[in-house]
Amino acid sequence: MTKPKIAVLLFALAAFAAGAQASRGYLYPGFAEIHEDVNLPPGSWSWFPSNALAGSLVDGTVRLLGVEEQRRTWRKGVVTFFYDGAGQAQLAYLTRGLGYSLYYDLDVDGGRLTGWAKIDNRLNEPLSFDHLTFVAGEVQLRAGGAPAMDKAARAYEGEMAMAAPAPAMPEYAGSAGGVFRYELDEPPVLEAGVTELPFIRESADVIYTWTYNGGFTRGERVVFQRGYRFEAPAPLAGGLVNIRDRGVLLGQAYMEETASGGVVQLRLGRDPEGIARRVVTVLKDTRKEKAYRVTTTVSNARRTPVRVEIRESFSAKEVVLDLPKGARRTSRGYAIEFILAPGAERSFTYTVTLRY
Instruction: Report the pLDDT value the prediction gives residue 4, as an integer from 0 to 100.
Output: 37
Instruction: Report the pLDDT value the prediction gives residue 185, as an integer from 0 to 100.
Output: 84
Residue type, 52: A
Q: Which of 267, 312, 307 is nearest to 292 (CA)?
A: 312
Instruction: Report the pLDDT value the prediction gives residue 178, as an integer from 0 to 100.
Output: 63
Q: What is the pLDDT of residues 310-330, one digit of tens each?
A: 999 999 999 999 999 999 999
Q: What is the arithmetic mean of pLDDT over 288-306? A: 95
In angstroms, rounded to a whole number, what is the distance separating the alpha carbons of residues 25 and 49?
16
> What are the start-end ranges of the E strands in 177-323?
179-185, 193-203, 207-215, 221-231, 239-245, 248-255, 263-285, 289-299, 306-313, 318-322
DSSP 51-116: HHHHHHBPTT--EEESSEEEEEEEETTEEEEEEE--EEEEEEEEETTEEEEEEEEEETTTTEEEEE
Give the mean pLDDT of the chain.
84
Evaluate if residue 12 carries a pLDDT over 60: no
Alpha helices in the chain (DSSP H): 2-17, 51-56
Q: If DSSP codes are grouped into helix, strand and coil, which group holds residue 199?
A: strand
CB distance 162 to 189 below 8 Å = yes
Q: Which of 22, 51, 18 is nearest to 35 (CA)?
A: 22
CB distance 147 to 224 below 8 Å = no
Evaluate if residue 294 carries a pLDDT over 60: yes
Instruction: Please state the pTM of the whole predicted model.
Output: 0.74
For 223, other C-beta atoms within 10 Å of its C-beta total 15
Q: If DSSP codes are grouped into helix, strand and coil, which group holds residue 121?
A: strand
Evaluate if residue 162 carries a pLDDT over 50: no
Instruction: Report the pLDDT value the prediction gives residue 21, as an integer from 0 to 100.
Output: 46
Instruction: Report the pLDDT value the prediction gives residue 145, as an integer from 0 to 100.
Output: 47
Q: What is the arithmetic mean of pLDDT over 274-301? A: 96
Q: What is the arithmetic mean of pLDDT over 224-249? A: 94
Evaluate if residue 15 carries a pLDDT over 50: no
Q: What is the arithmetic mean of pLDDT over 150-157? A: 35
Q: What is the pLDDT of residues 30-65, one digit of tens each?
A: 899 999 999 999 999 999 999 999 999 998 899 999
Residues facing 255 on adjacent strands: 239
Q: How confident is the model at residue 8 (pLDDT cuts 50, 70, 90)?
A: very low
Evaluate if residue 171 carries a pLDDT over 60: no
Q: What is the pLDDT of residues 130-148, one digit of tens each?
A: 999 988 777 777 655 444 4
In angstroms, rounded to a whole number, what is the distance separating the alpha carbons of residues 69 and 58?
19
In angstroms, rounded to a whole number, what is the distance separating the alpha carbons of residues 70 and 166?
42
Q: Which of 8-12, 302-306, 348-352 has the lowest mean pLDDT?
A: 8-12
In angstroms, rounded to a whole number, what is the distance separating the alpha carbons of residues 354 and 177?
46
Domains of the chain in sequence order: 1-100+122-203 (no CATH), 207-226+269-355 (2.60.40)
Strands 131-136 and 23-28: parallel
In angstroms, rounded to a whole number, what is the distance separating the alpha carbons of residues 300 and 306?
7
Sheet containing 248-255, strands listed edge to edge, beginning at the edge strand earlier in sequence: 193-203, 112-121, 98-107, 239-245, 248-255
